[in-house]
Amino acid sequence: MAMNIVEEKIKAGAVVVDVRSPEEFEDEHFPNAINIPVNVIQAQADSIGPKDKPVVLYCASGARSALAARFLKMAGFTDVMNAGGLWDMPGY
């Protein structure tokens, strides 16, 4: 059921953020995802866009994206979802 929510958010224009390292991102990533590694997401949160825009985060297992989701919520983002790992992404 959760995957349907992720898929709906993406289709509705959510920003998809890969919080893995640039090397992991370069190797493979979800189509149209942007790469903001978890260790810099607080500093680069403004590059995601408006804080009320839906944001879908993923990493390799879901651990780093869970941490990134907490950071973004603390920064005032209102619609943040941890989608888990890259292989959990819809259609991947």
pLDDT for 2 beyond 80: no
Taken in order of first residue, the domains within the chain and their CATH numbers are 2-88 (3.40.250.10)
Q: Reduce the DSSP state of residue 4 to 3 states and report it.
A: helix
Provide the pLDDT confidence category of residue 89 given band limits of 50, 70 and 90.
very high
Identify whether 41 is a catalytic site residue.
Answer: no
Provide the pLDDT confidence category of residue 1 given band limits of 50, 70 and 90.
very low
- Side by side, which strands form the sheet with 80-85? 34-35, 15-18, 55-59, 80-85
- Candidate list 33, 59, 72, 80, residue with the active-site label: 59
Provide the pLDDT confidence category of residue 91 given band limits of 50, 70 and 90.
confident
Please check whether residue 83 is in contact with residue 68, taking contact to mean a CB–CB distance below 8 angstroms.
Answer: no
Question: pTM for the whole thing?
Answer: 0.95
